[in-house]
Structures are given as C-alpha cells and as structure tokens.
Structure 1
Amino acid sequence: MKILVVDDHPLYRSGVAFTLQNSGMAVEVVECSSLAVAFQRLDEGLVADLMILDLQMPGYQGVDSVRAVRTRRPEVPVLVLSGTEDPAVVRECIDLGAFGFLPKSAPADHFNAALARVLAGGVYLPPTSLSVAAPVTRAQQDAWGRLGARLTERQRQVLLGIVQGKPNKVIARDLGLSDTTVKSHVAHILEALVVSNRTEAVYALARAGLSLQDLQASASDPAS
C-alpha cells in the first residue's frame, strides 16, 4: 500500500509519515513538500492508494488544493488534514469529493480511525462536524441499518461515484450508463438513505459509519 503525504511543513509531514510507518500496516509512505511534486510523482507512474493532503498548500487558497487533486487525479482518494475545524470548510471539502477530513489538533486515535475508514471505502468526518449536522431521525437509522439489502451492485458503484464527488455525467461515462439511468440510481440512493441531496448522502454514510465494503457484505448476507 502506498500513501502520499503532501504537506509543506517538514516537521508535521515527517510526523504523519512516522505515524503511518508505525501503524502496523504494510505501507510505503511517499513524502511530498508540494502538490507539484505529488503530481509529478503520479504522472511518472506512481500508483497511490491514498493521498493525505494538507489543506493549506503554497499557491492554493481555501479548498483549491482539494479541487486541484480531484480534477487532475480523481482516481486517488484524498484525506484532508487541516488546522481548521470549520464545519463549512469540512462540507466544502466533502462536496469536492474528499473521502475524509481530519483537524490537525485531533488525537492519534482519530487519525487511525480516519485512516481505517477511508481505506475501507468509507467517509470520515470529525466529530465536531457531525455534531452540528441535523439530528438523525429514527427513519434514517432504520434505513441505514438495512441499506446494503436495498442497493444493487450498480447502485453501490454509483454511490462510490457520489462519495468521490463525481457529477452524474462522469459517473455515467465511467460506468457506461446513460445520464438518465444514473439520475435514476441517484434518486433511489437518496431515497434509501432518507436524505435529499448528494452531500447529505455522504454525511449519512459517515454518521452511520458505513463503507461500500460494509454495504457489499450486508447485501450478500442471507439474513439481511
């Protein structure tokens, strides 16, 4: 497993790399001091399983660094590290297709939880962000508990595209489907999650602690 750590602060970058190398996982860490260096390594053929990205990078403002990665290398999952815990910034990163967001002030166990969740195909959001979201209804709890049985394999593929922040046209192109078919799948997914839009769907997965692997397992479980 190869993980890119992209941060312009050497001390913090080395700290993240050290944590990864002592996580017990078989991981190769590639440190990059800028996005330009990260893009160069990827363009040279490096295949990364995850990019851990400092939100504030030289030459980029706000969430532009996330936007740049999602535009140029959409196949690489991104876990954002940031000095801010502003829920609006968290939501914007998730809107752009980041798989997770972790404040730099978070304790080590939160980092490990974020890493495990994102690598499993789920979405990780900081507790502070989840706490300001709308309360979970009983209908949503029930729906999330049986979500795997309510989604087809194709719908889970569409859901992955939603988590990655891909628009319907891109999902349709990737899966060889029509825009109308993808739109229908998205509508079913939102109904199954009892939410009204794509970002709420991503937040629902994070709050339920679900990953696409979880959904696949529950769908194949005869008892589900």
Structure 2
Amino acid sequence: MLALIVDDHVLIRDALRGVLGAFDDVSEIIEAATAADAERALDGTPGIGLVLLDLSLPDRDGLSLLKSIRSGHPGTSVVMLSASEDRAKMNAALEGGAAGFIPKSATREVMQGALKLIFSGGIYVPPEILTRPVTPPAAQPSPSALRATAKLGMTERQVDVLQLMMQGMSNKAICRVLDIAEPTVKNHVTAILRALGATNRTEAVVAASSLGLSVDDSS
C-alpha cells in the first residue's frame, strides 16, 4: 500500500515516516507539504491507500481537502492529524469521512495502535478527547423563539437538535456534538417534525425560521 503524508513541517513528516515504517503493508511513503502538492500526488500516483492529513495546512484547510479526497478518491482512507485536541474539530473530521483523528501529541505507540485499528477497518477516536464536553455550535435561542417552541411542546434539547438541523448537520453529526445516542437524535427529530407539522427536515427548518429561530440567535 502507498501512503501519503501531508504536513508542512519536515520534522512531523519524518516522525510519521517512522510510525508508518513499522507496518509491512506500507510499501512506499510519499510526502507533501501543501494541499496542492497532495492533490497532485493523489492525481498522479495510482494506488495511494492511506493519507495522513494535517488539519492545518498553509494553503488550504485540512477539512476542505478531506472532503475533496473523499469525493475524488473514495477508496483512500484519510486520517486527520492535529496539534489541537478540540472535540468539535474531531467531530467535523469524522463526519467528513475521516477514518480517524490522531492528536500530534500522541506517542508513537498510540499512533501505531491507532493505525493498526484503522488498517483492520476500524475508526480511531482518541479517548481523551471523547471525555471533553462539547458546546453546541448554535447560540442560545432568543426568549421569544423559546416561548414559541415551548408552546408547540418542544423541549430545550429538541430545540438544540433543531438548531443543529438548521446548520445542515446529519443525525450522526448531531449525536456527536450533543453527546447523545443516534437513536435518541432520531426520536428528537421525529418529535420536532410532528411539533412543527413538517414532513421532512427542510420543511422543519423553514417552519423554525418562521418562528424566529435561527442558528445565530443571541438576544
């Protein structure tokens, strides 16, 4: 298997080479310092099966490049690397199709263990980040919007779910952000649609907007 390391720091690339060197399945390692270099490598080198991708690149956001890779090279596994141990960023990476999220602060042993899991078809999520709470990206709804939704019988948690729906998040993304089970999210969505008299998520978002609910309420 060919592996591509995408990071603008030479020392990081060298360290990752050492991590990948422990795997017999990795036959060749290619390096790229920018997103543009990475795209050229992917387009010009058939058979790249793994990309270790830095979240912060000098010429492009790593999450944006992740989306492009997953779209143009769906058979390639992408593992995000980050100096930040931010759970929201991890959620975004996993929702974007990453096979794992590895903090750069992880030891070589942890990285190799994570890659071993990924090579076997699993998804690596660092436990130390999972234990951190995540504040939903939607701001606190206005009092008037809360009163309107309360009259419809919606709970505060359902309002949280609705605001994330208004941002276009899937059930899987919502369950990660709110730290609740996906079946629970589905139940909330069903209750939201019923309360708003909507038959689908689009109608629910339109109805919520008419009530004065928005993703950036701050009053």
Give yes or no for TM over 0.5: yes
Match of 2:167?
none
Counterpart of 2:48 in 1: which secondary structure?
coil
Match of 1:63?
63
Query: Could you list the per-position Cα deviations for residues 89-122 of structure 1 after superposition, in whole angstroms to 9, with x for gaps in the alignment?
Result: 0001011110100000011121011101111111
Match of 1:16?
16
Query: Could you list the per-position Cα deviations for residues 146-170 of structure 1 after superposition, in whole angstroms to 9, with x for gaps in the alignment?
Result: xxxxxxxxxxxxxxxxxxxxxxxxx
Offset of residue 199 of structure 1 = 4.2
Counterpart of 1:63 in 2: which secondary structure?
helix
Aligned equivalents of 2:38, 2:62: Cα separation in 1: 19
Q: Conserved in 1, the CA contact under 8 Å of 2:3 and 2:30? A: yes
Counterpart of 1:78 in 2: which secondary structure?
strand
TM-score (norm 2): 0.57
Q: Conserved in 1, the CA contact under 8 Å of 2:91 and 2:176? A: no
Q: Letter of the 1:29 partner, please give it.
A: I
Matches within 5 A, 1:66-85: 66-85=66-85
Q: Letter of the 2:172 partner, please give it.
A: R
Distance change >3 Å, CA 28–CA 37, structure 1 → 2:
same
Aligned equivalents of 2:109, 2:92: Cα separation in 1: 24
Aligned equivalents of 1:22, 1:75: Cα separation in 2: 23
Offset of residue 202 of structure 1 = 8.9
Offset of residue 45 of structure 1 = 3.7
Q: Conserved in 1, the CA contact under 8 Å of 2:6 and 2:31? A: yes
Q: What is the percentage of aligned positions where both structures have the same residue? A: 33
TM-score (norm 1): 0.56
Matches within 5 A, 1:31-46: 31-46=31-46
Q: Conserved in 2, the CA contact under 8 Å of 1:49 and 1:77? A: yes
Query: Could you list the per-position Cα deviations for residues 138-191 of structure 1 after superposition, in whole angstroms to 9, with x for gaps in the alignment?
Result: xxxxxxxxxxxxxxxxxxxxxxxxxxxxxxxxxxxxxxxxxxxxxxxxxxxxxx
Aligned equivalents of 1:111, 1:64: Cα separation in 2: 23
User: What are the ranges of 5 or more consecutive residues in structure 2 without an aligned counterpart?
Assistant: 135-169, 178-219
Larger Cα-atom Rg: 2
Counterpart of 1:49 in 2: which secondary structure?
strand
Distance change >3 Å, CA 112–CA 62, structure 1 → 2:
closer
Q: Letter of the 2:112 partner, please give it.
A: N
Match of 1:197?
171
Aligned length in residues: 142
Offset of residue 44 of structure 1 = 1.9
